[in-house]
Structure 1
Amino acid sequence: MSRLLAIDTSSSWCSVALSTGSEQPLFRHEKLSSAASQHLLPWIDALLQEAKLELQDLDAIAVNIGPGAFTGVRLGLAVTQGLALSANLPVIPVMSLDAIAAQFHQGRLSNHQATNLVVAIDARMDEVYWAQYQLQLNAQAERISDAHLSAPELVELSEADIVIGSAILEYGDRLLTPDTIIKQDQIGAHALGVLICAQAMWDQGMQIPVAQLEPLYVRNKVAFTTEERLHHGLLK
């Protein structure tokens, strides 16, 4: 197995994982919000020291490119760019929804007979980021739709067996889920999910030069106008 560093700061959680090539990955994962910028680099240094590795010993650096919190996604990309440039390493861009699906699939599928998964996370501004996945034993969770941005009521759940993600906690009463759907609201962005996706992408030669690394913006508009804020009840 390759030596990969995975970074995820796409949410209020700061998350770093390191695959050493043979043993179980090393990782740190804490809810830090804006304090993530103060801890990310020290955590990376600590994991490398624990693994007795230098940055140059790695094969690639993987990072969650979004969708997610704008500032958090930019932080993860900026740190990845700096590290990759300094060590002349390729990078592996991982979409947040794919990472969440991969982590759930690896850790929870044995407890369920589900085959159709929807990952839905809070996008703020009264909207949800979501995508559909096919689950199969002994295989990666396969995304079968684009990443979407919509109102909670418009998330397509007609074929879903399981819905996971932070949107359930925020918009549960507006997600039109049948009673038979299993819902998991505590599964969110995590560097271990990024690492799972990154390993599969590395095996397929999907790493890219750091100069090509870009965030994934599903939403083009990141703020309401005053009129729109009044309309949505955000101003009084």
Structure 2
Amino acid sequence: MRVLGIDSATSTASVALVENGQVLAEGLYPPHFCEKATDNPGAKSNHAEIILPLIDSVLRQARIELAYVDGIAVSIGPGSFTGVRIGVSTAKGLAYGAAIPTVGISTLHANAARVSDFDGVLCSLLDARKNEVYAALFRKNGKLLNRITDDVVVPVPKILKVLSAVKVAEPCLFVGDGAMACRALVENLGGPRVNIVAEKEMSSVAMAVARLSEGRFHDNDVPLLRKLTPVYLRRPGCESYGKILSY
């Protein structure tokens, strides 16, 4: 089946069209050749303006009209508050207009699913600002990716507490733009078993969102569109109200 993956919850907005796991077309903003997405301070604020043209560009690349897309998958957070809302509302608008089934995928799950050629623990981290990160742990074994912890928001100095859920001896890879905020702590762990993967070495979040959704569509695990809602973990400008590790 053909799935249109959409992500605007992270600093690099992305759209990907995937058919049976194979990428037909992909678009990113800002593109991967930027040293890092945060080098463009207007990136997040421009997501509202860029996401629909990005979708149109991807469909044109693949020479496929929206009517011939079988499903839409969107990252539902946690992530940028504005970005999450943009992605979810865009996906729902397209779904309503074209009667396409739509599912939501955790942004942290999709972030972890971008990693290939690695077996061990993946610490998926996204920058939540205010010296906090969104975090979740996953264990990868071949093509299998299993969740270890729920999505949480945690102060950067407490990120090592998240790792207490896994064995110290396991290889651990930190992935996502939040990994840079924790670089000093990660480097202090030392040893060859702990590393940070560079953003430019991975595929887009939208591609991972689309691929993760394929099993959901196959199992008909598709919610009512009105129940597709963002996951924030905290209110904009307020204290965290979702699952938080404060210790």
TM-score between the two structures when normalised by the length of structure 2: 0.79
RMSD: 2.2
Unaligned runs of 5+ in 1: 226-236
1:73 aligns with 2:78: no
Greater Cα radius of gyration, structure 1 or 2: 1
Cα drift, residue 23 of structure 1: 5.1
Deviates more, 1:83-92 or 1:206-215: 206-215
Amino acid at match of 2:3: L
Deviation string, structure 1 residues 89-111 (Cα, Å, up to 9, x no partner) = 1111010110011111xx332xx
Task: Give the 3-state SS of the residue equivalent to 2:114 in structure 1.
Answer: helix
Deviation string, structure 1 residues 99-153 (Cα, Å, up to 9, x no partner) = 011111xx332xxxx32221122111111111111111132x1112111111123
Cα drift, residue 175 of structure 1: 4.9
CA distance in 1, matches of 2:223, 2:65: 21
CA distance in 1, matches of 2:238, 2:220: 40
Equivalent residue for 2:206? Answer: 191
Do the aligned partners of 2:20 and 2:214 also contact (CA within 8 Å) in 1? no
Equivalent residue for 1:211? Answer: 226
Equivalent residue for 1:14? Answer: 13
CA distance in 1, matches of 2:233, 2:103: 19
Number of residues of Structure 1 aligned to a counterpart in Structure 2 = 216
Give the 3 Å change call, closer, same or farther, for CA 36–222 of structure 1 in structure 2. closer
Deviation string, structure 1 residues 151-177 (Cα, Å, up to 9, x no partner) = 123222243522222222123224585
Give the 3 Å change call, closer, same or farther, for CA 177–88 of structure 1 in structure 2. farther
CA distance in 2, matches of 1:22, 1:189: 14
Equivalent residue for 1:116? Answer: 121
Amino acid at match of 1:152: V
Amino acid at match of 1:147: D
Write out aligned runs for 1:163-182 (5 A).
163-175=174-186, 178-180=189-191, 181-182=194-195
Task: Give the 3-state SS of the residue equivalent to 1:222 in structure 2.
Answer: coil
Task: Give the 3-state SS of the residue equivalent to 1:135 in structure 2.
Answer: strand
Amino acid at match of 1:133: F
Do the aligned partners of 1:119 and 1:163 also contact (CA within 8 Å) in 2? yes
Q: Which has the higher strand share?
A: 2
Report % sequence identity: 28
Give the 3 Å change call, closer, same or farther, for CA 47–30 of structure 1 in structure 2. same
Amino acid at match of 2:81: F
TM-score between the two structures when normalised by the length of structure 1: 0.83
